[in-house]
């Protein structure tokens, strides 16, 4: 299987046992998802591994407003080419020699859907950009509205109607990618002085963690469950990159924050990726606030 990663996308989170591999879902996978799968697809002795992986940190797939599906590339009527995979127009490259009956499922794409995570206890909006039939399974490839990608069995996603999508209104996200002449510890130290980390420390009762000096062993699990707000996340160093991901449910509304610090040890530069949202009402204000925050972090980290 070929999966397009412009960023190493292997993370470990409190809510995810294995990143970019299997994701627990709310129901067992059916071997006959649709009626058309009951004929014409032969079952192999060796099961495929195309469904159920989860890469929320792959910012090669940036956040996208679900009202702007015309900006989302997708391959709907056939299996993708190698170039289309590299261009993020699709996700899964099936080995047709091993699975000669593999084919695209006829479906209008892209389409907005939701997927439920049992571990998180919450649903997330996704945009399905690929649907394939392999062996006796139907597998969809999707990108998260808040960035990153994954795959799932068709039975594990719930498609939204056009009216439901329209009814949600604009769902814009803040997204920033900045190159900094600094190390991970410099950036962590700079972020630690901002109100953002101070507020996280207070909210999750982790003041000492969010104000401490960074080291490769630094990590924290974040949990909150109060009236009107539920949150869960993780922050820590995994496979050489420092990653923060927090999901919130506020009165039924899903909001998230993702931060990836990706250091290049050869040229002493580091990329800082940050995404948050969606902001259906005050996007410009939030964008201005986060832009200022990124600029403060950049100046402070490069000054160290």
Upper half-sphere CA count for residue 257 (Cβ side, 13 Å): 14
Angle at 60 between CA 54 and CA 62, to 5 degrees: 90
pLDDT at 120 over 90: no
**Residues in CB range of 158: below 8 A, 6 or more apart:** 113, 114, 115, 116, 123
Q: What is the pLDDT of residues 247-279, one digit of tens each?
A: 999 988 999 999 999 999 889 899 999 999 999
What values do phi and psi take at 205, rounded to 5? 55, 45
Q: What is the pLDDT of residues 24-79, one digit of tens each?
A: 332 333 333 333 333 333 334 455 667 678 889 999 899 999 999 999 999 888 89
Residue with tokens 């990108």: 143
**In the prediction, which pLDDT does 282 show?**
94
**In the prediction, which pLDDT does 21 show?**
34
Best CA proximity match to 61, nearest among 142, 182, 172, 180? 142
| Over residues 155-181, mean pLDDT | 96
174-303 CATH = 3.30.530
Where do you find CATH 3.30.530 in the chain? Answer: 174-303
| Over residues 150-163, mean pLDDT | 94
> Distance between CA 254 and CA 280 in Å, rounded?
11
Write out the H or E segment, with its range, that includes residue 54: strand 54-55
Q: What share of the chain is helix, strand, coil (3-state, %, to 5)?
A: 20, 35, 45
DSSP state of 47: P
């Amino acid at each position: 299987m070929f999966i397009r990663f412009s960023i190493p996308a292997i993370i470990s989170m409190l809510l995810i046992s294995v990143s970019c591999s299997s994701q627990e879902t709310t129901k067992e996978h059916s071997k006959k998802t649709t009626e058309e799968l009951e004929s014409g697809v032969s079952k192999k002795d060796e099961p495929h591994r195309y469904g159920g992986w989860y890469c929320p940190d792959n910012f090669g797939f940036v956040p996208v407003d679900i009202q702007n599906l015309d900006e989302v590339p997708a391959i709907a009527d056939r299996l993708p080419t190698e170039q289309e995979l590299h261009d993020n127009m699709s996700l899964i490259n099936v080995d047709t020699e091993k699975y000669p009956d593999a084919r695209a499922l006829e479906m209008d794409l892209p389409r907005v859907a939701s997927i439920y995570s049992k571990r998180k206890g919450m649903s997330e909006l996704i945009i399905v950009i690929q649907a394939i039939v392999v062996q006796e399974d139907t597998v969809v490839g999707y990108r998260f509205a808040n960035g990153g990608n994954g795959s799932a069995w068709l039975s594990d996603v719930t498609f939204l109607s056009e009216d439901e999508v329209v009814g949600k209104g604009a769902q814009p996200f803040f997204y920033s990618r900045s190159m900094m002449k600094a190390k991970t510890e410099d950036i962590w130290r700079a972020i630690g002085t901002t109100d953002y980390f101070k507020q996280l420390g207070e909210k999750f009762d982790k003041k000492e963690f969010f104000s401490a000096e960074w080291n490769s062993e630094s990590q924290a699990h974040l949990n909150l469950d109060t009236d009107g707000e539920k949150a869960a996340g993780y922050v820590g160093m995994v496979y050489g990159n420092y990653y923060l991901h927090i999901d919130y449910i506020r009165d039924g509304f899903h909001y998230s924050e993702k931060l990836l610090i990706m250091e290049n040890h050869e040229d002493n530069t580091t990329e800082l990726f940050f995404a948050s949202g969606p902001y259906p009402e005050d996007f410009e204000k939030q964008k201005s606030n986060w832009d200022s925050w990124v600029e403060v972090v950049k100046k402070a980290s490069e000054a160290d």
